[in-house]
Amino acid sequence: MKNNLSERFLDFAAKIIKLALRLEKTAVGKHIGNQLMRSGTSAGANYEEACGAESRADFAHKLQIVFKELKESLFWLKLIKRSELLPAEDEQLNFLLKESQELTNIIGKSVVTTKNNYK
């Protein structure tokens, strides 16, 4: 059975890469692009690690890492928009802002649920 969240993370990472490639090749564009690619692609990789966790505590810990990486990705995406590195109406940027917020909400709730269920 296909894991919908795994697919969303994979699509998110691919779209992050495509967006980062569109940033100007200036020092600022490269820095923000690299930071965004690191956090945006590692969220999915860490989610896959969480799915294969060795214990409940390991699962909760890895989910927290996913949450942190998503929050960081959201920051970089907001910075791209606020600093006008891409146009405010850019569809790809706006999709990624929305998707990163949705994924952050999903994983945040999962972290809370996991912690509450295993006290």
Contacts within 8 Å (CB) and 24+ apart, 41-48: 41/13, 41/16, 41/17, 42/69, 43/9, 43/12, 43/13, 43/69, 43/70, 43/73, 43/103, 44/6, 44/9, 44/10, 44/12, 44/13, 47/5, 47/6, 47/9, 47/107, 48/6, 48/9
Average pLDDT, the chain: 94
Confidence of residue 1 (pLDDT cuts 50, 70, 90): very low
pTM to 2 decimal places = 0.92
Question: Residues 38-56: pLDDT tens digits?
Answer: 999 999 999 999 999 999 8
Task: Answer yes or no: is 118 within a domain.
Answer: no
Kindly state whether residue 79 falls inside one of the protein's structural domains: yes
Report, as an integer, the average pLDDT of 97-110: 97
Residue 76: which domain range?
Answer: 4-113
Whether 119 maps to a domain, the answer reads no
Residue 15 belongs to domain with CATH number: 1.20.1440.60
Structural domain includes residue 41: yes
Residue 20 lies in a domain: yes
Q: What is the pLDDT of residues 61-84, one digit of tens each?
A: 999 999 999 999 999 999 999 999
Count of structural domains, the chain: 1
